[in-house]
């Protein structure tokens, strides 16, 4: 099932994508998916980020080739950080280049959206807490990230977390789906979702040992090698095969 969040008559509504039509549902999909009987045409420009995060939890280095990309040691446990909910950006939304940065990078990732309150979850139970999977661009002001001891500012600007275009509830990252990022149609990142050093069940146990994840929260699993800079006017496309294309321009 492909879940989308879409603007309809001025309201944010959840729905199920069926071809070129969105079958709207009652409320949110976290407890159950109940069709409301309304349908709207699929309009990419009306899509909203398919989540309702109180926090966006990200993994810093989870692909070996990216972990060594900046010449730093490979961590022994996952490095986690939080992007504020205010950094959330819609599929096809514009990323705002901060005037205080001279180096803003794309980081194509896949993420998952939390379905129900998750506290001290065991790895083997992880799947029942996951609504489904989506694409994330963990936009990063690299110069600021390197200058500050904490990553909060470099990762936390408004618009720095495009998520979408949809949540695929049947996606299985262990299947090794291709994950790619293009900058202006030039392929930059190319890996598979089974290349994580720490897989999704491990991450669920690791994160929820520390903090409770709530319905609608997002976990982004880290980026493969070959992150790189974007300029104003650029278009970045993150594609996870089986989920869709997350496309954002920089202004
Ligand atoms: Mg990242």
Per-residue pLDDT tens digits for 92-147: 999 999 999 999 999 999 999 999 999 999 999 999 999 999 999 999 999 999 99
Helix H or strand E segment including 154: helix 152-155
Q: How far is the CA of 215 from the centre of ligand 1 (A)?
A: 22
Place of tokens 């390197």: 146
Q: How far is the CA of 59 from the centre of ligand 1 (A)?
A: 6
For residue 250, list its beta bridge partners.
95
Domain count, the chain: 2
CATH code of the domain in which 80 resides: 3.90.850.10
Model pLDDT for residues 29-60, shown as the tens digit of each residue: 999 999 999 999 999 999 999 999 999 999 99
pTM of the model: 0.97
Count of CB atoms situated within 10 Å of the CB of 228: 15
Q: How far is the CA of 60 from the centre of ligand 1 (A)?
A: 5
**Same domain, yes or no, for 124 and 35?**
no
**Same domain, yes or no, for 77 and 163?**
yes
**Same domain, yes or no, for 145 and 38?**
no
Q: How far is the CA of 108 from the centre of ligand 1 (A)?
A: 7
**Same domain, yes or no, for 128 and 39?**
no
**Same domain, yes or no, for 6 and 77?**
no
Q: How far is the CA of 3 from the centre of ligand 1 (A)?
A: 24
Quote the domain boundaries for residue 221.
49-250
Q: How far is CA 92 from CA 34, 58, 215, in A?
A: 27, 21, 24
Average pLDDT score over residue span 144-162:
97
Average pLDDT score over residue span 151-179:
98
Q: How far is the CA of 128 from the centre of ligand 1 (A)?
A: 25
**Same domain, yes or no, for 71 and 16?**
no
Q: Residue 96: what pLDDT?
A: 98
Q: Is the pLDDT of residue 73 over 90?
A: no
The conformational region for residue 27 under phi > 0 = left, psi -120 to 50 = alpha, else beta, is: left
Q: What are the structure tokens assigned to 59, written together? A: 């993994």
């Amino acid at each position: 099932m492909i879940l989308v969040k879409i603007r309809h008559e001025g309201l944010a509504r959840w729905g199920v994508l069926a071809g070129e039509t969105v079958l709207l549902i009652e409320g949110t999909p976290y407890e159950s998916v109940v069709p409301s009987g309304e349908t709207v045409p699929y309009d990419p420009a009306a899509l909203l980020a398919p989540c309702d995060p109180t926090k966006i939890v990200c993994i810093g280095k989870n692909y070996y080739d990216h972990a060594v990309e900046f010449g730093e040691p490979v961590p022994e446990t996952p490095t986690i950080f939080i992007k504020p909910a205010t950094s959330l950006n819609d599929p096809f939304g514009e990323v705002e280049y901060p005037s205080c940065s001279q180096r803003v990078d794309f980081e194509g990732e896949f993420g998952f959206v939390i379905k129900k309150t998750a506290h001290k979850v065991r790895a083997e139970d992880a799947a029942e807490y996951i609504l489904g999977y989506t694409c994330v661009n963990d936009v990063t002001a690299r110069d600021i990230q390197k200058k500050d001891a904490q990553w909060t500012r470099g990762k936390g600007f408004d618009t720095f977390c495009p998520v979408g275009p949809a949540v695929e509830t049947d996606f299985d990252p262990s299947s090794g789906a291709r994950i790619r990022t293009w900058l202006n149609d030039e392929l930059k990142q190319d890996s598979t979702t089974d290349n994580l050093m720490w897989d999704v069940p491990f991450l669920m146990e690791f994160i929820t040992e520390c903090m409770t994840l709530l319905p609608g929260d997002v976990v982004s699993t880290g980026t493969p090698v070959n992150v790189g800079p974007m300029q104003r006017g650029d278009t970045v496309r993150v594609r996870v095969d089986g989920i869709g294309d997350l496309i954002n321009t920089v202004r």
